Amino acid sequence: MKRIGLLTSGGDCQALNAAMRGVVKGLSENVEDLEVYGFHNGYKGLIYGDYRLLTSRDFSGILTKGGTILGSSRQPFKLMRVPDENGLDKVEAMKQTYHKLNLNCLVILGGNGTQKTANLLREEGLNIIHLPKTIDNDIFGTDVTFGFQSAINIATDAIDCIHTTAASHNRVFIVEVMGHKVGWLTLYAGIAGGADIILLPEIPYDIKKVVNAINKRSKAGKGFTILAVAEGAISKEDAQLSKKEYKNKVANRKYPSVSYEIADQIAKESGVEVRVTVPGHTQRGGSPCPYDRVLCTRLGAAAAKAIMEEDYGYMIAMVNGDTKRVPLAEVAGKLKTVEPDCQTIKEAKRIGISFGD
Ligand code: F6P
């Protein structure tokens, strides 16, 4: 007999259902008596005892379905130790729900913040398995996170579509790509979409260099330029500010996001017409791509194996093509960023892509 809990927390992505299906199929194929409790809306469901008993039917036909059948919400890690508005101790409440249901293990699907809370629950004595979800690909200890490849496809499609209209109008276009504080998604979608300039948080840009790159293209007879700009892109000047000063600046800037500020600066410096496109949450939506379906099936099956072996306290990661149990204690709280000197960037620069540095 095994009783497991499942929850999906933080921003959703395309392959959450595929991953849960992998876990549950992997267990139900091998465990006689399996009870699966699904907690609604992430940690909220665990805190307030909002859950439902799931059957194998719930996991049929969801391999290709985006979003999450359990719902999700953001419950910031830094507030986990802060009582709720009614004075409820959230960590104690989560432990109580877990023990009340007599769970053998809790499988938690989520990104960095979710992983920190998963590790906290492990430290509190719960049996935890974490699966690395995020379109941002910024979880330390795994080569890739699920959602990332699906999001690359969508962001690349957006750049592809902009290409045809940019060429017709001889304009400069900025496509703003998600990724929170890291540039993985922008780097890959930018290269895949043939962007001429790619701006990442890890490589602060110099607006003069950006304008030079645009001018160089127009001198060479290229009528349009496409920039893939990470939502977290930062100028060299802003990178000098303290965290607090930068936060203040962002809170008070007149632009909805960094791309509009860059667009304004380019227009002022070079006189060209600039348009901004923000695909936004479409990057997290729709069906998971085949790569993510395979990834999640493998991670899910590997999680099921760890649960059957009662080996808990891990993120089930993908390392050099193999699934691997990575201790949560070693990775929780660490961010995986793009290395500015990595081969991918060197090779992109070799073919003339500017990173504004
Ligand atoms: O972490 C995934 C992500 O989509 C980031 O790329 C983005 O910065 C953030 O979530 C957006 O969050 P929300 O859905 O809360 O607006």
50 is catalytic: no
Q: Which domain holds residue 41?
A: 2-147+288-331
Residue 284: exposure state from Cβ atoms within 10 A (0-12, 13-18, ≥19): buried
pLDDT band at 42 (very low <50, low <70, confident <90, very high): very high
pLDDT reported for residue 82 = 97
pLDDT surpassing 90 at residue 197: yes
The pLDDT tens digits for 263-316 are: 999 999 988 889 999 999 999 999 999 999 999 999 999 999 999 999 999 999
The verdict on residue 350 lying in a domain is no
Give yes or no: residues 141 and 224 share one domain. Answer: no
CATH number, domain of 310, equals: 3.40.50.450
Give the total number of structural domains in the chain.
2
Contact 68 CB / ligand 1 (< 6 Å): no
CA–centroid distance, 8 to ligand 1, in Å, is 14
Q: Give pLDDT, residue 167.
A: 86
Indicate if the pLDDT at residue 120 is higher than 90: yes
284 CB near ligand 1 (under 6 Å): yes
Please indicate, yes or no, whether residues 120 and 30 belong to a single structural domain of this protein: yes
**Whether 190 and 275 share a structural domain:** yes
- Cβ–ligand 1 distance for 179 under 6 Å, the answer yes
Verify that 176 and 260 share a domain, yes or no.
yes
Q: Are residues 31 and 74 in the same domain?
A: yes
Looking at the structure, do residues 54 and 183 belong to the same domain, yes or no?
A: no
Taking the CA atoms of residue 310, residue 311, residue 315 and residue 319 in that order, the dihedral angle to the nearest 10 degrees is -120
Domain final residue pick, 265, 284, 303: 284
User: Does the residue 54 lie in any domain?
Assistant: yes
Strand arrangement of the beta sheet that strand 314-319 belongs to: 51-54, 34-39, 2-8, 105-110, 128-132, 314-319, 322-327
Whether 93 and 115 share a structural domain: yes
My answer on whether 224 and 162 are in the same domain is yes
Residue 159 counted as domain residue = yes
The 10s digit of each residue's pLDDT in 334-356 is 999 999 999 999 999 999 999 99
Please compute the mean of the pLDDT values over residues 247-261 and round it to a whole number. Answer: 94
Weakest-pLDDT range from 13-17, 38-42, 85-89, 271-275? 271-275
pLDDT of 174 strictly over 90: yes
pLDDT, position 170: 84
Instruction: Quote the percentage of the chain above a pLDDT of 90.
Output: 96
Atom of ligand 1 lying closest to residue 180 CA: 8
Query: What pLDDT, on a 0 to 100 scale, did the predictor assign at position 223?
Result: 87
Which are the contacts of 98, defined by CB distance < 8 A and separation ≥ 6?
5, 46, 106, 121, 126
Q: Using only C-alpha atoms, what is the Rg of the chain?
A: 22
Contact indicator for 114, 13 with CB cutoff of 8 Å: no
- Structure token digits, residue 31: 């465990």
CA 279–ligand 1 middle distance (angstroms): 12
Question: What is the chain's mean pLDDT, rounded?
Answer: 97
What separation in Å is there between the alpha carbon of 66 and the centre of ligand 1?
16
pLDDT of residue 169: 86
The pLDDT tens digits of the residues spanning 86-109 come to 999 999 999 999 999 999 999 999
The whole model's pTM is what? Answer: 0.97
Residues 36 and 107 in one domain: yes
315 in the same domain as 189? no
